[in-house]
């Protein structure tokens, strides 16, 4: 076995790499291919805009509108984490197409 060693790209220094993340927040690479079986539905009358769903969404699909919160279903994978983390039960997971 060879001993591990630090590899650097030829001709590139540390200054050539981006600081922080490579993309700005909210950058998603592909739309949902249609395999989601459930989707989040917001009950706006229960929502107090604590934004826990926004902070915990792994796909960054929760966003704020003038009327409250909304979901970008193009990127939502239907994991249900937003519904599980909501302290007031303002988000319900429903079967796709209902």
Q: Which CATH class is domain 37-98?
A: alpha beta
Highest mean pLDDT among 8-12, 30-34, 60-64, 77-81: 77-81
- Answer yes or no: are the C-beta atoms of 94 and 41 closer than 8 Å: yes
| Residues 13-62: tens digit of each pLDDT | 666 666 665 555 555 556 776 788 999 999 999 999 999 999 999 888 88
What is the band of 79 on the pLDDT scale with cuts at 50, 70, 90?
very high
DSSP string across 2-60 = PPP-----TT--GGGSPSS-SS-TT---S---S---EEEEE-TTT-----HHHHH-TT-
pLDDT at 74: 84
């Amino acid at each position: 076995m060879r001993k591990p060693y630090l590899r650097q790209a030829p001709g590139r220094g540390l200054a050539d790499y981006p600081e922080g993340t490579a993309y700005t927040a909210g950058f998603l690479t592909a739309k949902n291919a249609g395999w989601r079986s459930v989707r989040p539905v917001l009950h706006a009358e229960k929502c107090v805009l604590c934004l826990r769903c926004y902070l915990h969404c792994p796909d960054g699909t929760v966003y704020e509108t003038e009327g409250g919160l909304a979901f970008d279903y193009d990127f939502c994978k239907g994991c249900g984490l937003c519904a599980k983390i909501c302290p007031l039960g303002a988000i319900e997971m429903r079967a796709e197409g209902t």
